[in-house]
């Protein structure tokens, strides 16, 4: 009997891919010799590769018709035991459907965000767990995995590690805490002024530098944190993905909201203080669960992408976050 062949579909984004790793690891642990082909956006090929879970990674840009046609033809030419759509969107579910993969596993309508998508699946899973990483694991189990989830160890290249060490050394930084003020939706983001004030307290009381992680389009946000930090003078850093991984792995702690870099840092084994507002940490929070996840009791869960900071985040003070940082670092401070 030949080894099984699985088509894994998770096109993006950073945090969502990180939350898919444990489920694919469960699949890999259950079928060590399986061919696992992962479809993802070209931007995330290196991230998926860092997990060493996929036999091959096939990039596809769902907004490029030529790219979609090519990948469908490529899928159609192969034999598959199952396709597992961990994303649950039309753009992800259509790929194995149009390619004629006979067994297509995905979430049922109770979980899917986009109406009608489950019609494209042959096997629909209604999850009984809460966290999205565990729900992803239920899809793996439907594909006959014995383990729903399993540990993941991400690989950071020595080249990226040396580059980050060099950049930080030139800035006079050795021991540091990463601040990640972004988050895709503005409503998920704690105020930059509070990140700046937190940076001051970390510098004055803990004698540590802060590094501001920011991505494309977040230059103004990073500048606002730096301005609010005053003499604490945090170091802004916008390296590529490999450098970001090296930066996060070398940090004493990361402070951030429900954002990709926070989840990536946790996957790399870095301590974290997570600040949550409109999204529910029980479903979308750190995985595996972390002891310092701050969310005001007044917060209500919503995925509405608003342009203002959610009111519940305004109730989380700098003092609360700083206390969590100190407790997270424990005896090392």
Confidence check: pLDDT of 333 > 80: no
Residues 125 and 243 in one domain: no
Sign of the torsion formed by the C-alpha atoms of 220, 221, 222 and 226: positive
- Residue 304 is predicted with a pLDDT of 84
- Residue 113 is predicted with a pLDDT of 86
Instruction: Give the count of alpha carbons within 13 A of 199, CB side only.
Output: 31
CB 275 within 8 A of CB 313: yes
Residue pLDDT, tens place only, 147-181: 999 999 999 999 999 999 999 999 999 999 999 99
Residues 73 and 185 in one domain: no
**Any idea what the CATH number is for the domain that residue 206 is in?**
3.40.50.2000
Residue pLDDT, tens place only, 53-103: 999 999 999 999 999 999 999 999 999 999 999 999 999 999 999 999 999
Confidence check: pLDDT of 321 > 70: yes
Residue pLDDT, tens place only, 269-298: 999 999 999 999 999 999 999 999 999 999
Boundary residue ending a domain (107, 142, 177): 142
- Quick one: what percent of the chain has pLDDT higher than 70? 99
Structure tokens at 62: 């769902």
- Residue 184 is predicted with a pLDDT of 79
Residues 316 and 173 in one domain: yes
Query: Could you tell me if residue 149 is inside a domain?
Result: no
- Residue 281 is predicted with a pLDDT of 97
Query: Could you tell me if residue 150 is inside a domain?
Result: no
Confidence check: pLDDT of 45 > 70: yes
Residues 72 and 167 in one domain: no
Tally of domains within the chain: 2
Query: Could you tell me if residue 151 is inside a domain?
Result: no
Residue pLDDT, tens place only, 199-244: 999 999 999 999 999 998 999 999 999 999 999 999 999 999 999 9
- Residue 331 is predicted with a pLDDT of 43
Boundary residue ending a domain (142, 172, 190): 142
Boundaries of domain holding 50? 5-142
Query: Could you tell me if residue 170 is inside a domain?
Result: yes
Confidence check: pLDDT of 332 > 60: no
């Amino acid at each position: 009997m030949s080894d099984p062949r699985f088509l894994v579909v998770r096109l993006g984004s950073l945090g969502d891919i990180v939350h898919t790793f444990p489920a694919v690891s469960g699949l890999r642990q259950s079928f060590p010799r399986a061919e696992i082909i992962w479809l993802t956006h070209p931007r995330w090929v290196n991230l998926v590769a860092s997990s060493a879970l996929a036999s091959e990674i096939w990039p596809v840009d769902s907004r490029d018709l030529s790219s979609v046609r090519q990948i469908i033809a490529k899928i159609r030419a192969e034999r598959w035991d199952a396709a597992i759509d961990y994303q649950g969107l039309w753009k992800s579910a259509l790929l194995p459907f149009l390619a004629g993969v006979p067994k297509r596993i995905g979430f049922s309508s109770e979980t899917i965000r986009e109406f009608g998508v489950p019609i494209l699946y042959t096997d629909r899973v209604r999850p009984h767990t809460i966290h999205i990483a565990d729900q992803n694991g239920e899809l793996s189990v439907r594909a006959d995995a014995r383990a729903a989830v399993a540990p993941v160890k991400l690989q950071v290249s020595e080249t990226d590690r040396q580059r980050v060490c060099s950049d930080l050394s030139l800035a006079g930084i050795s021991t540091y805490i990463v601040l990640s003020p972004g988050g895709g939706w503005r409503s998920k983001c704690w105020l930059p002024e509070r990140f700046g004030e937190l940076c001051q307290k970390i510098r004055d009381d803990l004698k540590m530098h802060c590094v501001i992680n920011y991505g494309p389009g977040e230059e103004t946000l990073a500048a606002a944190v730096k301005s609010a930090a005053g003499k604490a003078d945090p170091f802004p850093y916008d390296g590529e993905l490999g450098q970001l991984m090296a930066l996060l792995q070398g940090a004493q702690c990361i402070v951030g909201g429900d954002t990709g870099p926070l989840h990536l840092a946790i996957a790399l084994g870095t301590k974290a203080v997570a600040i949550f507002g409109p999204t529910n940490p029980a479903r979308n929070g750190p995985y595996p669960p972390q002891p310092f996840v701050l969310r005001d009791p007044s917060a209500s869960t919503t995925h509405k992408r608003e342009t203002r900071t959610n009111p519940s985040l305004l109730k989380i003070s700098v003092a609360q976050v700083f206390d969590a940082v100190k407790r997270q670092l424990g005896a090392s401070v």
